[in-house]
A and B are shown apart, each in its own frame.
Chain A
Amino acid sequence: MTYRYLEDIATADAAFEARGKDLEEVFIAAADATTNVMVEDLDSILRQEALHIEVENRELDLLLYSFLSEIVFIKDAKRLLLRFDGVEIEERDGLYYLRAKAYGSPIDPGRQPLKADVKAITLHRLSLIETRDGWRATAVIDI
Chain B
Amino acid sequence: MDLEKQIKELYEQHHHEIFSYIFIMIGDWQQARDLMQDTFVKAFMNHDRFRGDASPKTWLYQIARNVSIDYLRKKKPVAYYLDYYSPILSKQPTPDEVLQKKENVEYLYLALFKLKKGYRDVIVLRKVNEFSIKETASILNWKESRVKTMLHRGLEALRKELVKEGYTNETV
The answer to whether A binds B is: no
